[in-house]
Amino acid sequence: MINNKKQIAVLLATYNGEKYLETQLDSLVSQTSHDFKVYIHDDGSKDNTVSIINKYVGRYPDLFEFIGSNSTGGPVNNFMYLLSNVNSNYYMFCDQDDYWYNFKIEKTYEAMLHRETSKDIPVLICSDVELVDHKLGILFDSYFKYKKIDYADTSVRHLLKRNFVIGCTSMINNRLKELSLEKVDLSNIYMHDWWFALIASQCGVLGVLPNCTLKYRQHGNNASGSSLKVGYRKLLREIIHFKKSIDIKKSIRNRRVNFAKELLKYIDKEDKNYNFIKELSCLNSFSKMKRIKIYSKYDLYPFSSNIIWEKIWM
């Protein structure tokens, strides 16, 4: 276990990232905060990623630490590997292909200290982002506006319907780390950011900065990202590629079910969310009509969906 001597550990997971990595590392070098250290783990890259990392570690040994290059099986496992091997008061998650504004760490940390009234309370702070192309040209100046996100609603139900917490914007405190990993079966966790957001909402504090703190690159090879395909053309593609569309929608539904199964471990029958989480966790065992009823009861249909279309595949 590595004990971080600074307040904040920035966890950078890499894989075949040579094309954009140096831009991201430069943005970390330029941060106005100095109370952080970057810990990097590579997932077995076949390109020059590791060489780039070593160059920056050699140039800025007090800022960057490389903790290995072995395959963990994907971005979730890579970030979880970093999280389990670094001990710090606060953690931030860093993607290899974005660009952080120089105030990102400082402003996020200020928001964390404002919302963290006790070290025993699990807290997550996230922010908005600019959606940019592969050359960092602006596509949309606000992810929240583009997706019409009500970021004031940080309830578990809203997050299960539509997670708006992007991992690379997030800072979590050590209590949230401990609690999130305490009972969870990681095989049921689709993405770490979604899970941390749910636990923060259910058991602590989820704070949102409405400002953009980074450029979120959309280039077609993101491990996760914001879909820019909307409107009638999206619906037409779903009709043309019907089977693939159904498989995707069922996969999303199963993610919600799996998250609900894990959340049940953290709540008791007196909790206001218990009945909702319990019914959602059992969704796949119900008839189609009951699944439709539960989705309608808790308003779980996606915001941009045609409800009739959604009920066909449900």
Please state, in angstroms and as integers, the Cα–Cα distance from residue 103 to each residue in 27, 32, 210, 272, following that order.
10, 6, 14, 38
pLDDT at residue 239, rounded to an integer: 56
* CA–CA dist 12, 182 (Å, integer): 23
pLDDT at residue 252, rounded to an integer: 87
The CATH architecture of the domain made up of 2-217 is Alpha-Beta Complex (3.90)
Buried b (16+ CB within 10 A) or exposed e, 231-262: eeeeeeebeeeeeebeeebeeebebbbbbbbb
- Tens of pLDDT along 90-117? 999 999 999 999 999 999 999 999 999 9
The pairs formed by 142-145 with CB atoms below 8 angstroms and a separation of 24 or more are 142/212, 143/212, 143/216, 143/226, 144/210
Please state, in angstroms and as integers, the Cα–Cα distance from residue 298 to each residue in 156, 275, 276, 278, 304, following that order.
11, 11, 7, 12, 16
pLDDT at residue 248, rounded to an integer: 78
Which residue type sits at 18?
A: E
pLDDT at residue 43, rounded to an integer: 95
Q: Are 231 and 135 in contact (CB under 8 A)?
A: no
Residues in contact with 130: Cβ distance below 8 Å, sequence separation at least 6, in sequence order: 138, 140, 141, 142, 143, 212, 214, 215, 216
Q: Is the pTM of this model over 0.75?
A: yes
* CA–CA dist 67, 64 (Å, integer): 10
Q: CA torsion sign, 198 to 34 to 39 to 217? A: positive
Q: CA torsion sign, 200 to 208 to 215 to 162? A: positive
Low-confidence ranges of the chain (pLDDT < 50): 230
237: its two tokens: 């593609």
pLDDT at residue 74, rounded to an integer: 86
Q: CA torsion sign, 34 to 198 to 191 to 153? A: negative
pLDDT at residue 251, rounded to an integer: 87
pLDDT at residue 241, rounded to an integer: 57
Our CA dihedral for 220, 79, 150, 307, rounded to 10 degrees, sits at: 60
pLDDT at residue 220, rounded to an integer: 62
Domain ranges of the chain: 2-217, 231-313
